[in-house]
Amino acid sequence: MTQKQQLKIGISIGDLNGIGAEVVLKTFEDERILEFCTPVIFANSKVLSFIKKHLNIDLQFQGISDLNKIIDGKVNVYNVWKENVNINFGTPDTKVGSYALKSLEAATEALKNKQVDILVTAPINKNTIQSEAFNFPGHTDYLAKELQGDSLMFMVSDSLRVGLLTDHVAVKDVASTITPQLIEKKVNSIYHSLEEDFRVRQPKIAVLGINPHSGDNGVIGKEDEEVLKPTLKNINNNGKLVYGPYSADSFFGSQNYKNFDAVIAAYHDQGLIPFKTLSFGNGVNYTAGLSRVRTSPDHGTAFEIAGKGEADETSFKQAVFTGMQIFKNRKEYKELTKNPLKKQPRRKERK
């Protein structure tokens, strides 16, 4: 791939008091990655220089103030703000949270305007970023508002893909939130993502039960019998290979997940605890269902180790490569499906 063909990776810097900047800088410290993409970090070059020096990271980057002047094959830092930021690693700070939002807004706008091809988000602190402009549980809901489509949190790794029927919903509200309409919507989103984003032909999807032991035929809750099972049967009858509900407590330990292209959990911890247990450090949080590609690492701000140089950049690096692969898969899928062979008119038989 030549430099002119390189994908531009837009990167929002996340909470500067966390490990986000560290994993970003460490990722591109390995110059070989610049053979595949051109990173554009939305932050401030002076702040990143301070963090780089503090952590003794050997990385050269180019500060720019115009997205039309991105330098291919180099690490670009787009200066979203000019003033200094007081960095106190490991400390929640609403002022620092406001700069995380500035970075995210600028990177998202560039993504919408196709000035960057992919968005990779470093971790935010969900408390300190809250404001009138950002009143969301996290990145996923914000991006659902900014980008076309129905967002879906999709945790992916080399060996496992996990989607959720409900994500940032209180446990007490999970059962009432899950409706036939929601189930069909989430299944369709994951099915389409597997086909388009991961190029899986005839995906096989497993769905986990809402209640313990999938309700034990109605003994432990009625939702699996009355809502989940009939909806999955209807989806299956319409041609999608969707199976379940499976009892969540034994599904992963029995290795049954290896028989499917994706697993759909009923709620956040039911899906993310096994995913992070099996894939932590190598997993990627992918927001499926949007008009543009966004990925992030599978960890948070990790304030407890921020500024100590101990953060592992593997998940962030994997988020970059996963984003690039999904972007290419989508492009290939669109090329293959936008110009189907036209039906030829039947020739008249000669008499």
- How far from 148 is each of 76, 98, 132, 212, CA to CA, in Å? 27, 25, 22, 36
| Burial letters 148-171, b for 16+ CB under 10 A, else e | eeebbbbbbbeebbbbbbbbebee
Q: Which ranges of the chain have pLDDT less than 70?
A: 1-5, 339-351
Spatial contact of 122 and 16, defined as CB atoms under 8 Å apart: no
3-class SS at 232?
Answer: helix
Report pTM. 0.90
Spatial contact of 73 and 3, defined as CB atoms under 8 Å apart: yes
Q: Which two tokens stand for residue 332?
A: 């290939």
CB contact set of 84 (below 8 Å; sequence gap of 6+):
46, 47
Per-residue pLDDT of 308-343, as tens digits, reads 999 999 999 999 999 999 999 999 998 888 765 544
Spatial contact of 138 and 104, defined as CB atoms under 8 Å apart: no
Per-residue pLDDT of 21-76, as tens digits, reads 999 999 999 999 999 999 999 999 999 999 999 999 999 999 999 999 999 999 99
Provide, for the chain, the percentages of residues in helix, strand and coil under a 3-state DSSP scheme, each rounded to the nearest 5.
Answer: 45, 20, 40
